[in-house]
Amino acid sequence: MPNIQSVIEVLYHKYRSCSEGHVASYIPELAKANPDDFAIVVVTVEGEVFKVGQTEVAFSLQSTSKPFTYGLILEEFGREFVLTKVGVEPTGEAFNSIVELEKQTHLPYNPMINSGAIAVSSLIKAPNFSERVKRVMTLFENYIGHPLVGDEAIFQSEKNTAHRNRSIAHLLRHFNVIEDDIDESLDLYFKQCSILANTQDLAMMAATLANNGIQPHTQKTAIKSEYVSDLLSLMFTCGMYDSSGEWAYSVGIPAKSGVSGAILGVVPGIMGIAVFSPPIDSKGHSVRGVKVFQELSKNLNLSIFKGKKS
């Protein structure tokens, strides 16, 4: 494999001056992000770290969190039950689409879009709300390997403006996908989206999935190996929403993006990759992030369709 450090440095310098895309503003607090922040981190399954750029800048996980909470409920309830609450089909629609809930089964199509992720949140149970939040924090701490905090301002900002997500939750309640109070489940979803992490943390989450659920530094199990392929297959088919097909074609690895400008990608058995750069495209993906992943995939021969990695 070519020298990873020099490859990511070349890509960082190549795309540093890219000025395409806009920082997300529909959650007002996200508009404060610095559009110049840009970081690339690779963590191998052996735990080796390669990094370049503003790797220490913290951002909210947003939708990069969705595969991981899905894993939590799979472990707790098993596939059979979870499939009665959320499907495994791509929508070809935007991440915050509501239309597909009116179709066929009235279930969210998959857990990578907002409707599916909100349904997943409703299944994360504990005796009270703060214990529910704690379960989610502990989940991400197990993947990342150190304590985490949430961003209260981002949480409040999303909570105060989440009219579309509230509509989705009401429909989910109407169809009994959510069986109890929607407000608390929405709050839990906003809490999960507002957890702060940096690019290295995100790459570590990806590397843990690449390493079959075992965190490469702590050697702790973050998710049972039997469920890792559930997460990866859904990230592959649905993780980039209505550009998942294009992503499969041009990058070829399971991935998940978030509107804070983060993208994580998993090369099973090899490495986790994360790119952070706040300006996003019309589908909600980091513009620099998509370019870096496309080129990194070519340079390092990462596509899962390219056969044996060396």
CA distances (Å), origin 276, targets 36, 60, 89: 10, 11, 27
State yes or no: residue 289 binds ligand GLN (CB under 6 A). no
Name the phi and psi angles at 273, rounded to 5: -130, 140
Question: Which of 95, 247 has the CB closer to ligand GLN?
Answer: 95
- To ligand GLN, the closest distance from the beta carbon of 190 in angstroms equals 7
Question: Which of 177, 302 has the CB closer to ligand GLN?
Answer: 177
Q: Are strands 255-258 and 262-267 parallel, antiparallel or unpaired?
A: antiparallel
State yes or no: residue 244 binds ligand GLN (CB under 6 A). no
96-135 mask for ligand GLN (x: CB under 6 A)?
x-----------------x---------------------
* Interacting residues with ligand GLN between 45 and 84 (CB under 6 A): 62-63
- To ligand GLN, the closest distance from the beta carbon of 282 in angstroms equals 12
Separation of alpha carbons 20 and 35, rounded Å: 10
> Whose structure tokens read 């550009």?
243
* Interacting residues with ligand GLN between 131 and 160 (CB under 6 A): 158
Conformational region of residue 160, where left means phi above 0, alpha means psi within -120 to 50, and beta covers everything else: alpha
Select from 12, 95, 155, 227 the one that contacts ligand GLN (CB under 6 A).
95
- To ligand GLN, the closest distance from the beta carbon of 261 in angstroms equals 9
List all residues 6 or more positions away from 211 whose beta carbon is below 8 Å from its beta carbon. Answer: 45, 269
Q: Are strands 39-44 and 49-53 parallel, antiparallel or unpaired?
A: antiparallel
State yes or no: residue 284 binds ligand GLN (CB under 6 A). yes
State yes or no: residue 165 binds ligand GLN (CB under 6 A). yes
Q: How far is CA 223 from its chain centroid?
A: 15
Residue nearest to ligand GLN (CB): 63
State yes or no: residue 258 binds ligand GLN (CB under 6 A). yes
> Which amino acid is it at 304?
I
Q: How far is CA 204 from its chain centroid?
A: 13
Catalytic site residues? 63, 66, 189, 241, 259
Interface positions with ligand GLN (CB under 6 A): 62-63, 95-96, 114, 158, 165, 193, 258-259, 284
